[in-house]
Structure 1
């Protein structure tokens, strides 16, 4: 059975290393794949107390996402110097896109560009679906609740949260890049209790991948979903309508907002939490405006 150990990022091999061969003449990538399969079969891999499997995340999930990240969305990152190298922080980002692809792209960005595994806090709906719940925990995500957030931050993990929730990811295209309400500020309270900095993050590009023009509320209720979107391509083109549009993305990390200057007891003060929540929200809204101007056209040529 796998032993519980702190999560760690698996280093990514370079293209030169991928082309190299071992002493037996077997391509390294094939040898690595066989070694990976052996470890999975024998159970010789590490997971932590939350179920996070860093090797599965890097070698399978992120490997599937990297072509989208690098070639389809052509994601550009800014402000990586603000991401702490090895200490805890709470990454707070806007949420959009009809389908939460932005969470996955943020995970790739932090892993590949900053060398940090981000532990994303997910909505209840994710953990009500058997397969998705298991996969989410394997890839480092956990339920968006006070207990899990506090434990991860105190362990020095990089924790990611999308305070807009489904209000943000499911908003109509006409309200793109306008932040929705940030809830009750539970994420701010967790950061204050842990004394962890809040890292504001703005994601530009997700709004255009599935422009939501309408919502079939009857179907949404029947399927138990927060909404059933109508986009320019879905459901009119069937499965082809599920292909995201190739918008240009920028993920920007702002200057950390310190919380270690607060007394941990202030996490229970609604006014303190509300004021800091509003400050974080305004900071991200300003970042979004600046990054949109920097990006320019949403659909520059792919090639």
Structure 2
């Protein structure tokens, strides 16, 4: 951690974390110097233990113990590929998605609707509501879309995600990039599914009393990007994320001191410490609405503020109405 990066922990916790990271680095250096057959022996038992625990919890790991050991060895040797944005498909599919799949299916009992509205190929911009204190909704959406279509969603994230120590590497590795027109346009030109959450931190950090009331969708930047790229916009409505961490206060003064957009105070956090970070098992529904086409708009529409705002309002109203309908259809918050 550089001296100019803000520390999100106290000095003692930061020192302990740095010691842990250094120790891990020493272990990795030692493993790199070992013969390949010896590395396999060293890693076999820990990997087997992780697989066993995961299976008891219901995680469906991709690959056998031998394959996962080989995967770990390739990681230590630096023998793996990422794309120009830092996306690591192997890491995502082997480690990240199995955990998110377990969370979605077993904990949140996720129900998907409107899957026929997801394109089987070609680019599209998935526009979703955003809530829940932590961005679990974006990650669950990634897992749901991948399982339904075999395609990854490339998430657009706020600058804070990529300037916070430790989180930026993870975000890049699972396919996220900065929410800017340039990166979005490059992804869409590469035939990718791109997910965007126009509410940003305003939606993610709103109080429980404002649940399922959409915040502003900005000034239509995501619409302009879709129009320029001539790709469809798919409205996505997510019910369930609002209840996982019911925020009763955002502790604005403390958040400002820490450099956060908000600091969540919930019925369980920070009172129960780490246990307070366990999300409540709310019932989730994700619905994919009918795509809004953009390829038939006249030239110059992307630079017309009126067109951008009109389509922005159309997407926002579509999602808001869907949220109200899904809430009426959901049997209850936790069942």
TM-score category (smaller protein): 0.7 to 0.9
Is 2:271 the partner of 1:236? yes
Secondary structure, aligned partner of 1:120: strand
Say which of 72, 76, 88 aligns to 1:37.
Answer: 72
Query: Residue in 1 aligned with 2:123?
Result: 88
Please give the secondary structure, in 2, of the residue aligned with 1:168. helix
User: What is the CA–CA distance in structure 2 between the aligned matches of 1:169 and 1:85, rounded to whole Å?
Assistant: 29
Equivalent pair of 2:228/2:302 in contact (CA under 8 Å):
yes
Gaps of 5+ in 2: 1-54, 56-62
| CA distance in 1: counterparts of 2:80 and 2:146, whole angstroms | 19
For residues 111-150 of structure 1, the C-alpha deviation after alignment (integer angstroms, 9 at most, x for no partner) is 1122110000000100111321111111100000010011
Maintained 8 Å contact 2:85/2:175: yes
Where 2:216 maps in the other structure, the secondary structure is coil
Q: Deviations over 1:259-292 (max 9, x none)?
A: 0011352111110100010001011111111211
Q: TM-score, normalization: structure 2? A: 0.79
2:7 aligned residue: none
- The answer to whether structure 1 residue 205 and structure 2 residue 233 are counterparts is no
C-alpha contact 1:193 1:264 (8 A) present in aligned 2: no
Indicate the residue corresponding to 1:13 in structure 2: none
Calculate the TM-score normalised by the size of structure 1. Answer: 0.87
Deviation of 1:45 after TM superposition, in Å, equals 2.9
2:296 matched to 1:293? no
The corresponding residue for 2:224 is 189
Instruction: Summarize the alignment of residues 119-198 of structure 1 with structure 2, pairs less than 5 Å apart.
Output: 119-198=154-233
Partners of 2:128 and 2:198 within 8 A in 1: yes
Aligned partners of 1:88 and 1:155 also within 8 Å: yes
SS for the counterpart of 1:130 is coil
After superposition, the Cα gap between the structure-2 partners of 1:41 and 1:240, relative to the gap in structure 1 and judged at 3 Å, is closer
Other-structure match for 1:62: 97
Q: Which structure 1 residue ranges, 5 or more long, are not aligned?
A: 1-18, 20-27
Distance 1:95 1:249 in 2: 13
- Contact 1:192–1:264 at 8 Å: present in 2 too? no
Q: Please report how far the alpha carbon of residue 246 of structure 1 lies from its aligned counterpart in structure 2 after TM superposition.
A: 0.4
CA positional deviation for 1:234: 1.3
Match of 1:276 in 2: 311
Alignment RMSD: 1.4
Structure 1 residue 43 displacement after superposition: 3.9
**1:94 Cα deviation after fit:** 0.2
1:6 aligns with none
Task: Answer yes or no: is the 8 Å Cα contact 1:194–1:264 preserved in 2.
Answer: no
My pick for the range that moved more, 46-55 or 86-95, is 46-55
SS, match of residue 84 in structure 2: coil
Residues in 2 aligned to 1:273 and 1:288: alpha-carbon distance in whole angstroms: 23
Greater helix percent: which structure?
Answer: 2
Structure 1 or 2, whichever has the larger Rg, is 2
Partner-residue secondary structure (3-state), 1:271: helix
